[in-house]
Structure 1
């Protein structure tokens, strides 16, 4: 295994220990020598791993004291949210996933309406081209799914809001770990494509009311399915997933 990959492995484990609270905020990381022995690597690999944690603003070197653990909730790194949702192999924290879906649903509705008000002719051309590609990809989920992600990014771009574009990219980065879960709401069939075409048409004619109704209905349909799929993926029960999905109505 290359040194860079070893450093990534060490950094990922330390990140998850910080997010879980096993390494408490305000505490100091173990000494480099202790970490090297624990992970079976040399100290230069440990130093690289700690540098990665610094980039994510999860630790801070304190002169003559050591490396202090920072509050992960103040980090803007998508890696923190990934660790919160999936704290370990085969594990999914359903309550965190629920929070993510709730935020996504609220932003999706409001920002899609903003996209309708601000979209340009170039935005509409890009959306139409992606819809045409989606029609060609019907029945091929390996092609269809990346195109749906592309269309979501194009809608975000149509808002002319760079922060929202970043948030959408951030969400898609986090969702890559849960690709099998998100497939529960991506059938890639004719009704799915029809809903996408209606979405684009609402953006074209700047129909805020139509967009709001469409997207609210979508998220009411999608959230329970995503929660159920996540519970099953993590080895839990369908009943528990549905209970969590309806705990706080969107």
Structure 2
């Protein structure tokens, strides 16, 4: 698809997203026919179809071949997408994302120590084991550098998102989902963590999980503070934390 059509499809997708958020297109309702969307946005059928694909890939609509597209019934996805869209339009900088994490995540960890279910604690422990294995493979350079970094960042994000889920607070879950997406985009632009820093990350995850499992809120808070401060100091040390540079979408 030509670059101009790509931009048009993104604009159409963004506008449809805003209509979903405003509930002009209610959950479970049928999306307007392609021809109607073409006329409304004054674009080609190809652009409309690509916009629908973009929304479908995000889980915001259900589009099956030969059937009308339906607006998703779960509004958690659209809420997160709306916040992500706002962050991107505001050109939020990497340092802003990190400072937001430092503000919220210690308290989230403390809350999780009080509210996490036994199943969620087991999941956190399992994620710690997986993260340790991924870190070891990264250090041993099994596979490409980019792929190793992507896997490491993915499981790091899964760990932090699980802690947010353990608060049982939908607002915090949505916020941290968006923060996590922004952070992964930043790291995957080419940031590399040293083996020493990755080893610290593994240990910090274990410390945070142990505190949550012990239902020790203050210990969980302090462990998360230490974890994020270590990350902040490392990024400043290697000159990769820019207060002016906005995070680019993929």
| Interval of TM-score (by shorter of Structure 1 and Structure 2) | 0.5 to 0.7
1:138 touches 1:189 (CA, 8 Å); kept in 2? Answer: yes
Q: Which residue of structure 1 aligns with residue 221 of structure 2?
A: 212
Q: Which runs of 5+ in 2 are unaligned?
A: 16-40, 56-80, 139-147, 246-250
- Confirm whether residue 79 of structure 1 aligns to residue 85 of structure 2: yes
State how far apart, in whole Å, the 2-side matches of 1:232 and 1:113 are. Answer: 28
- How far did 1:192 drift? 2.1
Q: Which residue of structure 1 aligns with residue 168 of structure 2?
A: 160
- How far did 1:184 drift? 5.2
| C-alpha distance 6-102 of structure 1, shift in aligned 2 (>3 A) | closer
- Confirm whether residue 108 of structure 1 aligns to residue 105 of structure 2: yes
SS of the residue 1:215 aligns to: helix
- Confirm whether residue 199 of structure 1 aligns to residue 208 of structure 2: yes
Q: 1:229 aligns with which of 222, 231, 240?
A: 240
**Larger deviation: 185-194 or 140-149?**
185-194
- How far did 1:152 drift? 1.0
2:127 touches 2:159 (CA, 8 Å); kept in 1? Answer: yes
Q: Which runs of 5+ in 1 are unaligned?
A: 15-41, 56-74, 86-92, 235-250
1:184 touches 1:225 (CA, 8 Å); kept in 2? Answer: no
| C-alpha distance 126-199 of structure 1, shift in aligned 2 (>3 A) | same
Q: Which residue of structure 2 aligns with residue 5 of structure 1?
A: 6
Using the size of structure 2 for normalisation, the TM-score is 0.57
SS of the residue 1:153 aligns to: helix
| C-alpha distance 177-129 of structure 1, shift in aligned 2 (>3 A) | closer
| C-alpha distance 160-146 of structure 1, shift in aligned 2 (>3 A) | same
- How far did 1:204 drift? 0.5
Q: Which has the larger radius of gyration?
A: 1
1:157 touches 1:165 (CA, 8 Å); kept in 2? Answer: yes
Alignment length (residue pairs)? 176
State how far apart, in whole Å, the 1-side matches of 2:89 and 2:166 are. Answer: 31
| C-alpha distance 191-136 of structure 1, shift in aligned 2 (>3 A) | same
| C-alpha distance 212-150 of structure 1, shift in aligned 2 (>3 A) | same
Using the size of structure 1 for normalisation, the TM-score is 0.57
Over the aligned positions, Cα root-mean-square deviation in angstroms equals 3.8
Deviations 1:151-202 (A, max 9, x none): 1111111111111111111112222431246845685733321111111001
- How far did 1:124 drift? 1.1
1:182 touches 1:226 (CA, 8 Å); kept in 2? Answer: no
Q: Which residue of structure 1 aligns with residue 124 of structure 2?
A: 127
2:211 touches 2:220 (CA, 8 Å); kept in 1? Answer: yes
| C-alpha distance 230-180 of structure 1, shift in aligned 2 (>3 A) | farther
State how far apart, in whole Å, the 1-side matches of 2:225 and 2:193 are. Answer: 14
- How far did 1:129 drift? 1.3
- Confirm whether residue 169 of structure 1 aligns to residue 170 of structure 2: no
Deviations 1:194-223 (A, max 9, x none): 111111001000122222222222333322
Q: Which residue of structure 1 aligns with residue 114 of structure 2?
A: 117
